Structure 1
Amino acid sequence: MNFSEPSKSSEHSDQGEQPGDAAFHDQLKSVLLDVEVPDGLKNSILDSLVQSNENVLISDQPAISPRKSFLKKPGVLAGLSACLVFAAMLVSFFVAQGPVIDLSEFSPKLNLDRRFLSEFDNNFSERLPTQGGWRFKGRLNFTPNSYGVFVDQSSAHKPKSPVHDTVVRFFTLNTGKAQPVYGAILQVPARRVAPLPSHTYFDPGNVEYSQLKKGNYATVKWIEDDQVYICIVFGGARELEALGRALQAASA
């Protein structure tokens, strides 16, 4: 190790220095110069100092917030937005689908008193059957308004629909006699009904008669394209036959 010698001026600067001090200094200098320095010690010390300096520089840099790093990734934001939109579409889809209702629920037992019904909410497209004479103007007259009906589903595994389950149109058939025939035709998307009717057209021979406290009814059910129709006639076989003849004559 190479130490520089102390200057003569410094040796004699102190007034109280004794003559033997110089000899002592010479001996100490000789001992220090004779110390053996291990190979690589100097480089090892310098490397340690450099590494320590780098660690200090790294620790001084501000930490990047994970949230800011996340927000700086446009791909992640686009994917998250797409997931939210898709989830909203699924919710809308299932709301529009509504629960699946048993076909037997569509019967004269429903509350079909239009005084207590609200206007149809148009959650699906309303249309009259194309087969038969339902669309021909004549003796069969429909009310101008369409009404929505909620099918009562009190079972826990059958949640109530947030939208109308079916749309109903009321009609009057003038038979030329004193008493006209009154009835209603219900329409519901086929995807909401199970099981589906076996007939694909209005068939008076495929009828269900009901005797309730509020009166007698005749019901005919069929499927046309993707819609299920339920015709409920207020009366019995005579009224249903009169409706069948009128529809057949209108479509002839």
Structure 2
Amino acid sequence: MSASEPSSSPGFSESDNSDPGTFSDEMVFHQQLKNVLFDVEVPEGLKASVLESLQQDGAGDVVRDHSPGSSRTRFHKRPSTIAGLSACLLFVALLTFFWAAQQPVIALSEFSPEQNPEFNLDSRLLPDFDDNFSAKLPPQGAWHSKDRLALIGDKFYGVSTSQSSAHDAAVGFFRLRMGNAQPVFVALVQIPVHRVEPLPSQTGFDTGSVEYAQLKKGNYATVKWVEDDRVYICIVFGGPRELEALGRALQSASA
């Protein structure tokens, strides 16, 4: 070979020189993959088991291949890799869908002390919430305020009314300070909307829509509403006076 002849570069051929737009398309594809992966809400433990099974089948070798010999063009030459990743994402999404669909729908009355006297509202007998969905306080009102209305223990407890292995609802207990008077105690239950029927007609805390109960274990005032993707059930330990005090506290902070 003469000095004027260009030397061939090992490992790369002229056909490997892809169009710059190809790399841009690959970046868009990777970003879409990442968005899908992080947007899918997967039950705890499901993602780990799927990834473990994929590693046993050898699919994990594709993800771990970061050697210098790998190239973007090699990735484009393996359409089966793209198809495999897409199938894995679809498989995880389908598992999540079927897992949610198999969760039982619960009657709204199961979470009401006036309709279900066996409903447990003793925090000493409830386990910590298992976080199978993200517990969150209502956006409207003073539920996030720690001035007069405070979440006791800064934690949620789990409630199960069905045979599901996961908790059906999360409940937080609040203390409303009343100056020199005895504080008012409140339980706030929340359930994802797809787990409850029928849904309440109210879209916010409204003392005009309330149910009262006088049971052996105490008096209760219950208000139910739908807000965002949650059904909230507020149970005040007391009667009209305690309920009105909570209503004033929520309205004064949100005004």
- The answer, yes or no, to whether TM exceeds 0.5 is yes
One of 142, 146, 167 as aligned partner of 1:133: 142
Query: 1:130, CA displacement in angstroms?
Result: 0.6
Q: Partner amino acid for 2:250?
A: L
Deviations 1:21-51 (A, max 9, x none): xxxxxxxxxxxxxxxxxxxxxxxxxxxxxxx
TM-score (norm 1): 0.61
One of 142, 149, 163 as aligned partner of 2:159: 149
One of 104, 127, 130 as aligned partner of 1:99: 104
107-116 vs 197-206, which deviates more?
107-116
Where does residue 237 of structure 1 map in the other structure?
240
**Secondary structure at 2:232 match in 1:** strand
Listed as ranges, the matches of 1:107-126 within 5 Å are 107-108=112-113, 109=117, 110-126=119-135
Instruction: Tell me the percent identity.
Output: 60
- In the aligned structure 2, how far is the partner of 1:226 from the partner of 1:118? 24
Query: 1:87, CA displacement in angstroms?
Result: 6.3
Structure 1, unmatched stretches of 5+, are 1-77, 154-159
One of 200, 204, 208 as aligned partner of 2:211: 208
Say whether residues 1:187 and 2:197 are aligned partners: no
**Secondary structure at 1:205 match in 2:** coil
Deviations 1:150-191 (A, max 9, x none): 01x4xxxxxx22211100000000011331100110111111
Q: Give the number of equivalent residue pairs.
A: 172
**Secondary structure at 2:186 match in 1:** strand
Structure 2, unmatched stretches of 5+, are 1-81
- In the aligned structure 1, how far is the partner of 2:215 from the partner of 2:98? 35
CA contact (8 A) 1:117 1:149 kept: yes
- In the aligned structure 2, how far is the partner of 1:223 from the partner of 1:196? 7
- CA 1:235–1:194 in structure 2 vs 1: closer, same or farther (change >3 Å)? same
Where does residue 222 of structure 1 map in the other structure?
225
TM-score (norm 2): 0.61
Greater C-alpha Rg: 1
RMSD: 2.5
